Amino acid sequence: MDYRVVTAMNNNVVLACDEKTNEQIVLMSKGIGFGRRPGDIVSDDGANRQIFKLWAGEKDIGPLQADRVAVEEVVRDVVELAKAQLDVENPKLYDALLDHIQFAVDRLRFGLPIENPFIHETAVLYTREYEVATTAAQMIQSRLHVNVGEAEIGFIALHLHSAGKTGQIDRSMRSVQLYKEVMELLEREQIGNTNSRRVFLQALFDILDTVRHGIHLQFPFPAVVMQRLYAAKAQTDEICRCIEKSCKLSLDEDAIDFLILDLERLRQTNTP
């Protein structure tokens, strides 16, 4: 279906007119308003994005035109906070956060919820970033009068982590997904307790960081020792499959042996 742009309210929201019914409608999608001029045609068929449609009469879209400056001010302060507390010096962070937070604010103003299945994992894995993101949410609440909630706090934390560590938010997201999958595996197999599982997962991510930096781990124990750890070996193989699926990363034998040993230590916490 085609819509004729009446006006672009911001980069993510346009007031448009249904070409068939001549009825005005609000279209929302990330970047849908960028560069749009009155009379441009927007199509929702075949587009590789989700477009939300809201009848113009149901929502007050006037405030959106004034939001941009206020959001820019908040984002600038969040970036400065990230520099001070996380030592993040990434010139791309401002634009990434501005785009993301503006779209989140737009969605919430229109009553569209933000869903994030990895809130808990993000808070545990990226604790410092999550704390800064919580402060950012408080800024948004006090200045823009929008409560972004824990889901958006988690996404802001991912942006902060990717800006300071990985440089790619999808890598940060894949790490969070891996954390969730391995934690569920350990819980399903009833290995360890909550605290010991977190210690194991931290050791796991230390190994992954070492491998990503091209550092070879040299396992100090003879192979005959590892051959006795049958159960830990089988479960580590499953974890390695999760790593390959989520992070597109393969571990060599030495890294796997370190992981087996860490998992065996975790298994021993089950022993009375």
pLDDT for the residue numbered 185: 95
Query: Are residues 163 and 230 located together in one domain of the fold?
Result: no
Q: In the listed set 105, 134, 167, which residue is the last one of a domain according to the structure?
A: 167
Q: Are residues 74 and 159 part of one domain? A: yes
The whole domain housing 135 covers 64-167
Q: Is 104 within 8 Å of 159 (Cβ atoms)?
A: no
Averaged confidence pLDDT in the chain = 87
Residues 139 and 81 in one domain: yes
The residues, ordered by sequence, that sit 6+ positions from 229 with a Cβ below 8 Å of its Cβ are 260, 261, 264
For residue 141, tell me if it sits in a domain.
yes
Cβ pair 88, 164 in contact under 8 A: yes
Domain contains 132: yes
DSSP assignment of 203-235 equals HHHHHHHHHHTTPPP---S-HHHHTT-HHHHHH
- State whether 85 and 154 are in the same domain: yes
> In CATH, what number is assigned to the domain containing residue 246?
1.10.1790
Tell me the C-alpha distance between 77 and 80, whole Å.
5
Question: What is the mean predicted confidence (pLDDT) over 246-267?
Answer: 92
Assess whether pLDDT exceeds 60 at residue 46: no
Residues 230 and 212 in one domain: yes
Note the helical H segments in 26-63.
none
Whether 29 and 40 have beta carbons less than 8 Å apart is answered as no
Two tokens at 107?
Answer: 């969605």
Task: Read off the pLDDT of each residue in 107-115 and give the average, rounded to a whole number.
Answer: 83
Residue 174 in any domain: the answer is no
Same domain, yes or no: 190 and 148: no
Does residue 114 form part of some domain? yes
Asked if residue 173 belongs to a domain, the reply is: no
d(CA 271, CA 263): 13
pLDDT at 21: 81
74 shares a domain with 155? yes
What's the pLDDT band for 85 if we cut at 50, 70, 90? very high
Residues 68 and 144 in one domain: yes
CATH at 136: 1.10.1790.10
**Residue found by looking up tokens 């597109």 in the block:** 248
> DSSP label at 5?
E
At residue 167, the pLDDT reads 62
Going 195 to 242 to 123 to 189, the CA torsion angle's sign is: negative
Q: Give the residue from 58, 73, 88 where a domain finishes.
A: 58
Give the residue from 114, 144, 167 where a domain finishes: 167
* Alpha-carbon radius of gyration of the chain: 23
* Distance separating alpha carbons of residues 224 and 152, to the nearest angstrom: 49
| Claim to verify: residue 96 and residue 131 sit in the same structural domain | yes
What is the pLDDT at residue 272?
A: 43
Specify if 203 maps to a domain.
yes
pLDDT for residue 230: 86
List the beta bridge partners of residue 28. 13, 52
Whole-structure pTM value: 0.77
Domain shared by 46 and 139, yes or no: no
Averaged pLDDT, 225-241: 88
pLDDT at 56 over 60: no
Amino acid symbol at 237: D
**Average pLDDT, stretch 196-217?**
92
Distance (Å, whole) CA 62 – CA 229? 65
Does the residue 172 lie in any domain?
no
Say how far apart CA 41 and CA 92 lie, in whole Å.
Answer: 31
> How far is it, in rounded angstroms, from Cα 187 to Cα 240?
17
Tell whether 109 and 162 lie within a shared domain: yes
Residue 254 forms part of a structural domain: yes
- Stretch 223-248: mean pLDDT: 87
Q: How confident is the model at residue 109 (pLDDT cuts 50, 70, 90)?
A: confident
Overall number of domains in the chain: 3
Judgement on whether residues 25 and 75 belong to the same structural domain of the protein: no
pLDDT at 250: 93
Q: What pLDDT, in 10s, does the model give residues 3-44? A: 888 878 777 888 888 878 878 788 888 888 888 888 898 887
More confidently predicted of 168 and 176: 176
Q: What is the band of 242 on the pLDDT scale with cuts at 50, 70, 90? A: very high
What is the structure's pLDDT at 15? 82
